[in-house]
Chain A
Amino acid sequence: MGMNMSEKILARHAGLAEVHAGELITCELDMVLANDITAPPSIAKFNEIGGKVFDNTKIALVPDHFQPSKDIKSAGLAKIVRDFAKEQGIVNYFEQGRVGIEHVILPEFGLVGPGMLTIGADSHTCTYGAVNGFSTGVGSTDLGMAMATGKAWFKVPEAIEVHLTGKKPADITGKDVILTLIGMIGVDGALYKTLEFTGEGVHELTMTDRLTIANMAIEAGGKNGIFPYDDITEAYVKGRVKKPYEPVAADADAKYCQTVEIDLSKLTPVVAFPHLPGNTKPVAAIKEPIKIDQVVIGSCTNGRLEDLEIAANIFQGHEVHPDVRCIVIPGSQAVYKEAMHRGYIDTFIDAHCVVSCPTCGPCLGGYMGIMTAGERCVSTTNRNFRGRMGDVTSEVYLAGPQTAAASAILGRIAEPKEVK
């Protein structure tokens, strides 16, 4: 029986010729990740076993959520991670100034690649499906045990095929693709399943689009979201991923439990209304203007150079609406530096955006853009749950960087073509 991409990666890491949906297996891991919120409890669990970590080159510790420390307790969490990294000689520990948002820097530094298996104590670990890897989020106990043993157990997931066709319009981003998909299948549409992207439409998507799409597989309940390996993947990983890697392709007779068709040529810019990422509506369908107080452009979903380029192009010759605060957060130091060289940061500052150092900050209501009662934000982040970005009565509307920039300029949720 044929295998899909996820089954092939899991089989390879379980030392088995074949695995299929529903089987419980134990796999060897290529990379194990935690951040400043999830690493401290993982380290506490690890310490119950004790000793040395399984491999000090296969653990990434990324203090990105509340760092640079937002308060005294967060500084304490950062210290726990820093001390553990020193004591264990963790090679991929990233101190402030060398760090970025975990799911931006792991692909950027080539720590994850095609055919590789990664778990992370962060739900958006599924991002690395973009580079043809299998990666999924876990909690701190799983992560702590993985740091000790290098292994984790998996239930081989059923796969949903997302078949992409058509030419992607110029004003559409990966964010519109994934929000449209979650709107179609619902926030539990892929519960316990993998999303596998297929079809000639895949080639319409840049690596940034793919990273955004795979990143939000979890918002449909998905275990991972994986893309095939093609020339776009090769151009991205070549020279970046230093370890040997072996891409996977689905067999012609691979089994899918469901197929969802998306014609990219029919997509329009969309936003997900509060309080679920699946409350997707076309911006053009909004009848009464929805006034906003804040815009956030950044995060592990949309904090890459191409995202900032899209936003900067829209801000050219325009300013943030006087009633709006617009916060721009490059996803990594490299993104920040290149955005500066290309003049995007000048454009943002001239438009009166706040530009922050890389951090998860406002996405999870941590710091750097928390909302008070009744405020509304258009955000390129990944979750719009109740109270996610501040007060329980504040509202988050999820959108791509083009829609976020246009909304910041016009002071209401808007399509980029409305910016004259």
Chain B
Amino acid sequence: MAELKGKVWRYGDNIDTDVIIPARYLNTFDPKELASHCMVDIDETFAKNVKDGDIMVGGKNFGCGSSREHAPVAIKASGVPVVIAASFARIFYRNGINIGLPLLEIGADVEKIHAGDELSVDVSTGVIHDLTTGDTFQAHPLPGFIQDIAKAGGLVEYVKQQSKK
């Protein structure tokens, strides 16, 4: 995957899937419609102002709560190509990998990334450059088997490939 460059939308710890996409919008699973309500309960500016390529950065336990895959789908359909956090909640992590939204875990280093910073991210190596501050971070590598799913572009493509073998 090519190097990604984008501006940071910065959120805190324990960002739950109810704030990423509130349940009142779950009567649809259309990605564009979900994206139009993404983060609305804590940040009304996100859905209006997010640009293709912008990067979402959160703190600890990002994506906790409900298993709704609508949450990573809403983020991805907002044009965000990668989410970086101190840590991710388990189900959100699986869902991100499964739908082809790369997630990078960098622990406490996340504190050094600020709203509006320009990042350059190499998803395959996990190397993150903060072009605004000059800092460089290394994300925890994905286990091999999970890398295979990510490389296939998500679980559906992976299962299709496996069934051909």
Contact = CB atoms under 8 A, between A and B. Distances in A.
A197 to B, nearest CB: 19
B87 A123 contact: no
Q: How large is the interface on B (under 10, 10 to 19, 20 to 34, 35 or more residues)?
A: 35 or more
A37 B71 CA distance: 12
Contacts of A48: 156, 160
A301 to B, nearest CB: 14
A49 B156 contact: yes
Given A49-B156, A74-B27, A77-B27, 18 more contacts: A24-B143, A37-B68, A41-B29, A41-B69, A71-B27, A120-B67, A121-B69, A122-B67, A139-B98, A142-B94, A188-B14, A364-B66, A385-B16, A385-B18, A385-B19, A385-B65, A388-B18, A392-B42
Contacts of B65: 123, 218, 383, 385
B61 A187 contact: yes
Contacts of A385: 16, 18-19, 65
Contacts of A366: 23-24
B156 A38 contact: no
B78 interface: no
Interface string B14-26: 1010110011101
A142 B90 contact: no
Interface of A: 24, 37-38, 40-41, 44-45, 48-49, 65-66, 70-71, 73-74, 76-77, 120-123, 125, 137-142, 144-145, 148-149, 153, 155, 187-188, 191-192, 218, 221, 223, 276, 364-366, 383, 385-388, 392
Interface of B: 14, 16, 18-19, 22-24, 26-29, 41-42, 60-61, 64-70, 72-73, 87, 89-91, 94-95, 98-99, 143, 145-146, 154-156, 159-160, 163
A139 B91 contact: yes
Contacts of A49: 156, 159-160, 163
Contact of A73 (B28, B61, B69, B95): B28
Contacts of A138: 67, 91, 94-95
B24 A365 contact: yes
Nearest to B145: A24
A107 B65 CA distance: 22
A143 to B, nearest CB: 9
Contacts of A140: 29, 69, 95
A142 B155 contact: yes
B16 to A, nearest CB: 5
Contacts of B72: 139
Q: Which 10 A-B pairs have the closest CB atoms?
A: A139-B69, A139-B95, A73-B27, A141-B98, A188-B61, A123-B67, A364-B23, A137-B67, A140-B69, A387-B41
A187 B24 CA distance: 24
A153 B73 CA distance: 21
Contacts of A145: 155-156, 159
Contacts of A141: 69, 95, 98-99, 154-156
B63 to A, nearest CB: 10
Chain A CB within 10 Å, residue with most, of B87, B156, B160:
B156
A145 B152 CA distance: 15
Contact of B19 (A65, A137, A149, A387): A387
A331 B65 CA distance: 21
B67 A149 contact: no
A365 B61 contact: no
A364 B90 contact: no
Contacts of B23: 37, 364-366, 388
A45 B156 contact: yes
A328 to B, nearest CB: 21
A38 B90 contact: no
Contact of A187 (B64, B69, B156, B159): B64
Nearest to B73: A41
Contacts of B90: 191-192, 221, 223
A44 B89 contact: no
A144 B91 CA distance: 15
Given A38-B67, A139-B98, A149 B159 contact: yes
A299 to B, nearest CB: 13
B67 A221 contact: no
